[in-house]
Structure 1
Amino acid sequence: MIIISDKAYNINMKDFNEAVAFHGHTCGGLAMGYKACELAIEKLGLSFSEDEEVVCITETDSCTVDAIQVVLGCTAGKGNLFINNWGKNAFSFYRRDNDTSIRLVANPEFMNVNPEMAELRPKVFSGAATQEEIDRFHTLSHMWIDEILNMPAEKMYLVKEATEPLPGHARIYNNVTCSVCGEQVAEGLAPVIDGKHVCIPCLRK
């Protein structure tokens, strides 16, 4: 059960408030990520990924990604979340057990933020807004979140074929010691120079 602005949303997956708690605040971007998960679950029959059963390649590093981590269990640490920061609200989801995938791209026709909210945003985030303007911005923001959570996900996202190949399973490396700085580094990420391992930061010096 999701409660936003005294409205309830029944969605058969992890609660939106869990994503809010993880992210630290509620916002339109987080809600957009939540709806992307909803559509991916519907189209591919996904469930929370305990390991690497579900993989996501996201084309943004925005707030949307935190919802994907919470709802579908795609995380960098497990090796099933890959971020290509191309500035696009686009997400490719992969289901390993049946080799199915989907790419969701934000529908440009949907992305029409309230003009008043768009005008207030730079003032609020720059610290130049009055308290009245800040309060108004937050009111409009919660209205925007309500609209996102109420709207059918298929109106928000274009459904396309995934173009990126399914990434391989996460690899686990032994640690070796960098011959320059003396710090431990994953063996697969430490090139051998003149017979000795050197970490990437030391190579850049």
Structure 2
Amino acid sequence: MGTEFSPKRIEEVVAFHGHWCPGLALGIRIAEKALQEVGRAGDEEIVAVAESDSCAVDAVQVLTGCTLGKGNLVVRDVGKMAFSFYRRRDGKAVRLVPRPRPDEGGDLYRMLQIKSNEGTLSEKERLDFATLREARAQALLDADLEALLLVGPVRRDVPPHAPMEPSRLCERCGEKVMETKARLHGGRVLCPDCFDGEVRR
């Protein structure tokens, strides 16, 4: 029981992310299960799709080799803590979702989370919240992986390889934009930001 990753690897994840938190701990366990199911990404052999932009995404990047920059990590933010992993060579694919945990949070944790989001924690509450977060993160690292995560079928086909498309010059701001992202307005080629600006005027 507990994660197979060494303390050194976990430190690397924390250094990349910038702080330690339950979301990062959960991402470590998701990455661990993904490695067991589909293996580590070389170039674009393994593809990950995250269903939110949570802290867990950073752990997945560091530990699986699926990254935003390579295009084999895709964020489709629908607000769910769920990840799909695909192995291109043989079509193996799994979707990982945390099982609901009855011990997750509790009223005090949720109240302190809200106050933290609002920036209204007292010094004592800040310390209490830090203690609860540390305990929650450690519980995720120590949990039995099978009890922690549901493994199911993916809901979408594997994303295509990262596109390499030509760029066009935005005729409003003068910056280059990928041709497939450019918009046409009034006969002018515009980047999405300039298009939105034109439409709002």
Distance 1:114 1:108 in 2: 13
Q: TM-score, normalised by structure 2?
A: 0.85
Instruction: Check the 8 A contact 2:31/2:64 in 1, yes or no.
Output: yes
Cross-structure match for 2:11? 17
Cross-structure match for 2:27? 33
Distance 1:164 1:126 in 2: 36
- The alpha carbon displacement at 1:72 in A equals 1.2
Instruction: Check the 8 A contact 1:13/1:71 in 2, yes or no.
Output: no
Distance 1:145 1:28 in 2: 4
Residue of structure 2 aligned with 1:52, choices 20, 44, 52: 44
- The alpha carbon displacement at 1:97 in A equals 2.1
Q: Decide whether aligned partners of structure 1 residues 196 and 111 sit closer, same or farther in structure 2, where only a CA change above 3 A counts.
A: farther
- The alpha carbon displacement at 1:99 in A equals 1.5
Instruction: Check the 8 A contact 1:102/1:160 in 2, yes or no.
Output: yes
1:78-97 alignment to 2 at 5 Å? 78-97=70-89
Q: Decide whether aligned partners of structure 1 residues 203 and 129 sit closer, same or farther in structure 2, where only a CA change above 3 A counts.
A: closer
Q: Decide whether aligned partners of structure 1 residues 100 and 13 sit closer, same or farther in structure 2, where only a CA change above 3 A counts.
A: farther
Instruction: Check the 8 A contact 1:181/1:202 in 2, yes or no.
Output: yes
Cross-structure match for 2:141? 149
Letter of the structure 2 residue corresponding to residue 173 of structure 1: E
Residue of structure 1 aligned with 2:123, choices 131, 143, 155: 131
- The alpha carbon displacement at 1:156 in A equals 1.4
Equivalent position SS for 1:105 = strand
Name the structure, 1 or 2, with higher relative contact order (CA <8 Å, separation 6+).
Answer: 2
- The alpha carbon displacement at 1:13 in A equals 10
Equivalent position SS for 1:26 = coil
Distance 2:103 2:79 in 1: 15
- The alpha carbon displacement at 1:127 in A equals 3.4
Cross-structure match for 2:182? 190
Give the aligned CA root-mean-square deviation in angstroms.
2.5
- The alpha carbon displacement at 1:39 in A equals 0.9
User: Which deviates the most, 109-118 or 61-70?
Assistant: 109-118
1:160-171 alignment to 2 at 5 Å? 160-171=152-163
Instruction: Check the 8 A contact 2:185/2:195 in 1, yes or no.
Output: no
- The alpha carbon displacement at 1:98 in A equals 2.1
Residues 67-103 of structure 1: per-residue CA shift (max 9 Å, x gap): 1111112222211111121111111011112221100
Residue of structure 2 aligned with 1:66, choices 53, 58, 64: 58
User: Which deviates the most, 15-24 or 175-184?
Assistant: 175-184
- The alpha carbon displacement at 1:125 in A equals 3.7
Corresponding residue pairs, total: 196
Equivalent position SS for 1:188 = coil
Gaps of 5+ in 2: none
Cross-structure match for 1:4? none
Letter of the structure 1 residue corresponding to residue 150 of structure 2: L
Gaps of 5+ in 1: 1-7
Instruction: Check the 8 A contact 1:57/1:92 in 2, yes or no.
Output: yes
Distance 1:176 1:38 in 2: 41
- The alpha carbon displacement at 1:155 in A equals 1.1
